[in-house]
Each structure stands twice: as structure tokens, then as C-alpha cells.
Amino acid sequence: MINDLLIKNITKNVAFSKTELEEFTQLFHSKSIKKKEFLLTQGEICKFEGFVLEGCFRIFIIDKKGNENTLYFAAKDWWLMDIDSFMNQIPSNLNMQALEDSKVLLINKQDKIALYDRFPKVEKLFRIMSQKALVSWQRRLINNHSFTAKERYLHFIEKYPDIASKLTDKQIAGYLGIRHEFLSKIKRQS
Amino acid sequence: MINDLLIKNITKNVAFSKTELEEFTQLFHSKSIKKKEFLLTQGEICKFEGFVLEGCFRIFIIDKKGNENTLYFAAKDWWLMDIDSFMNQIPSNLNMQALEDSKVLLINKQDKIALYDRFPKVEKLFRIMSQKALVSWQRRLINNHSFTAKERYLHFIEKYPDIASKLTDKQIAGYLGIRHEFLSKIKRQS
DNA sequence: TTTACATGTTGAACTTGTTCAACTGTTTTC
DNA sequence: GAAAACAGTTGAACAAGTTCAACATGTAAA
């Protein structure tokens, strides 16, 4: 079944009954995105929260200097959304691009609200998911402060080898917060 | 009333009835912390979630090089907690130090769980709070990647003048992710 | 299959930020 | 009120990371 991965993902955090899970997953609709195409581009309002079934996405911002700054990569079994744009219905700063042919499950705002209202446990689920994400963002900032680019690079390819293998060096550099020329120099010495 | 600030803070995000608010706030107990004393030190398990009534705290990590890396400052009307340590009852990496004589409201884990179970709206509240926090952590990481230390410094003192005025330059440097000697040089030129 | 365009590499000069040490000025503390 | 401890400043040498330009390589497209 197509929703197995989603069910497995959510029940890791909160227990749901079979019927609850059915109602839950029915509100998601699947969408295919071809390599290099965008699920969201900056300026648009983010009308969905998404869960990756297949493939991989790069979520990035283009900053004032024109650099592509990658917030995170969302591979299979990851969530992707612009919370700010979705919650407040304001234009997004984010771009979400498929790195390969991908498939996602999406839920729109009304259905998400309906889900929250129908099952308080969904609030708990997203509360827990957000708090876990918070912890990893805090860690990432500290890592950026305490480690050199080389250390961060080695840590990244060790921790996420599957994602790293799908990326160009430019994209990895955009995640590490360095220029790709410098990443090239780092790789030479290591 | 001592709890007015807390009530105002939570009702910004979720509406509660008067009786709900009473039950909610009753589970918090207040604690005074003298300047330079610690609400939490690394190695301890974080047994509380806290809300600052008065004063200001610095939440920092000591990294492998021995540098004090500040995650954030929590002034009046802010929450402070080590989510990871609190949720999973594991030793904390964080230190929470009062920058001046301070007063906090604390809730322990059992009471927090009781609160979640009693009022599903509390799940919503902390879900929303966490998601908002997530957005600002994402922004902060991007800012760290796209701006120089000088730009980050000027941005910080403009955005948080009240907090900045309570801090030593060493503490500000620890938040910006630079050495205090360099901050001194930045200030000279600006 | 050739063209065109992206990605990756390298070097040289440059900017940003670090390190260490010495010095000065301020708070604590006894 | 003196001594100790800490915060801030400065300079010089250094390391980390950027910029720009030139070239090489790979890859998508016509």
C-alpha cells in the first residue's frame, strides 16, 4: 500500500488506531514531481504539508548575494513544508526542488485543520515532530559555530551518505554554508 | 497577579477559558534565581519547562574547544527548556545561567503530561510555539550563512536592544559565533 | 554527434575571523 | 581598600574561507 511509509512514520511518534490511520491518510493525495522540477518556488504561498514517498528534494533560499542556501534535504520518509508560509498564508521564501524523479503525499490547509480538530492526537504528533526538529536545528547551528567547513563536510557525508551521493558538490556546499570552490579544495586535502 | 504574564503569553497563541487558565497556571511554581546562578547545568537531567517572569537567562553549550556557545537568551516573557533532555530524560548539554536576579515559573514533567492529557489545546499551544520557534531557528541558520559577523552584530543589537544592553561583549560574541576579540575589532570600525 | 551549458578544479590575491600575548579598565571579593 | 579576577582593547602573525578568472570535464539537448 502506498501509505505504509506514512503510517510507519507517524506511528513512530504517536499511536493511532487502524480507523484513525485510514481517516488520516485519506486526506493526503499523492503527487509526482520530475527531476529538477519544483514543488514550491519563492513568492508562492505554500498550500501544503508534504511527506516524501520516493526521491529527494532540496529546500533552499536564494539570499541577497544570490547564493543558494540550502536549509535541508528531504529524502524518502521525511516531511517538507514551509511552516511560516503555510501557517500564515504568506508568500514563501523557499524553493523545493526535486533532485530526482520523486513522489510526495500532500495535505492542504483545510484538511490539516480538519485533522487537528478531529483528532487531538494529531496536535500531539506535530508537536512532537516539531520539537524533535527544533533540537536538530539547534544542534546544527552549534555545529556551524564550533566546527570548520571541513569537519562539517566530513560529518555530513558520514551521517547522510545516501543523500550525499545524490548531490552535486555545489548543493553540498550550499548546505554547509560555503562556496563550492572551497569545498573542492577541502576534498583535495582529505 | 503573578501569572498574568504567562496567561498573556499563552493566550497569544491559543484561546483558553478562565477556569482552564487557572488549572493551567496552578501547575507552575515560581522560583527565584540570583544573578550568575544556574537554573540548569550540563550533565543534569532537565526536569522542568520554564517561563521567565523577570530577569534574563543565557542558554549556552561549552563545545569541544572550550568555547561558550550561546544558543539563545531568554528574557521576560520567553520560554526556556532543554526539550531533548526534558522529553527523553537524558542528561542535558545545556547551561542556563541568570544574567541578573531573575524569577521563573516552572512546570515538571508529570504535571506537563497531565496538562497535555487534560487539555488537548495545550498540545496545540506547544505545537504552535514549537513551529514558530522552528521558523526562527531556520532564519538564524540562514543569517549565519549569508551575513558577516559585523552584519549579524548590528542586526542583533537592533532587534534585541534590551537584551543586548544586559550582556557583556563576550556573551554577545558567543551568540554570534565569533571570538570576543574580533567583536571588539568590529565595534571599533562601526 | 556536435553544441551548449553545468559542474568541478586550480591558483593567486584578497577578506574575514582566530590566536596569542600584552596591556588597561572594572568589578568582585576578602 | 587592596588584591584578585574578569571584561575589553589592541597588534601582529596566522588560518579559514572568498572571489575571480581560467581551464577541464561531464552531461543534457538539438
pLDDT tens series, chain B, 190 aa:
668 999 999 999 999 999 999 999 999 999 999 999 999 999 999 999 999 999 999 999 998 888 899 999 999 999 999 999 999 999 999 999 999 999 999 999 999 999 999 999 999 999 999 999 999 999 999 999 999 999 999 999 999 999 999 999 999 999 999 999 999 999 998 7
CA-nearest residue to A116 within chain B is B124
The H-or-E segment that residue A58 falls in is: strand A56-62
Within B 41-70, residues with CB less than 7 Å from strand C: 65
Single-letter code of the amino acid located at B14: V
Percent of chain A with pLDDT over 90: 95
Q: Domain B4-120 carries which CATH code?
A: 2.60.120.10
Which residues, 6+ apart, have CB-to-CB distance to B81 below 8 Å? B46, B48, B49, B50
Contacts of A84 in chain B (CB under 8 A): 135
pLDDT tens-digit profile of A12-64?
999 999 999 999 999 999 999 999 999 999 999 999 999 999 999 999 999 88
Could you give the residue ranges of the DSSP H alpha helices within chain A?
4-11, 18-26, 83-88, 109-118, 120-146, 149-159, 161-165, 169-176, 180-189
At residue A150, the pLDDT reads: 97
Indicate the residue of B83, B120, B145 with minimum beta-carbon distance to A134: B83
Strand bridging mode B48-54 / A102-108: unpaired
Q: How far is the CA of B181 from the C1' of C24 (A)?
A: 14
Q: How far is the CA of A37 from the C1' of C16 (A)?
A: 36
Name the 3-class secondary structure at B18.
Answer: helix
* A70 bridge partner residues: A60
**Chain centre distance of CA B29:** 18
Say yes or no for a CB contact (<8 Å) between A130 and B134. Answer: yes
At residue B141, the pLDDT reads: 96
Do residues B98 and B33 make contact, with C-beta atoms less than 8 angstroms apart?
A: yes
Contacts of A131 in chain B (CB under 8 A): 83, 87, 126, 130
Say yes or no for a CB contact (<8 Å) between A133 and B134. Answer: yes
B166 Cβ nearer than 7 Å to chain C strand: no
Domain A4-146 classification at class level: mainly beta
Q: How far is the CA of B39 from the C1' of C26 (A)?
A: 27
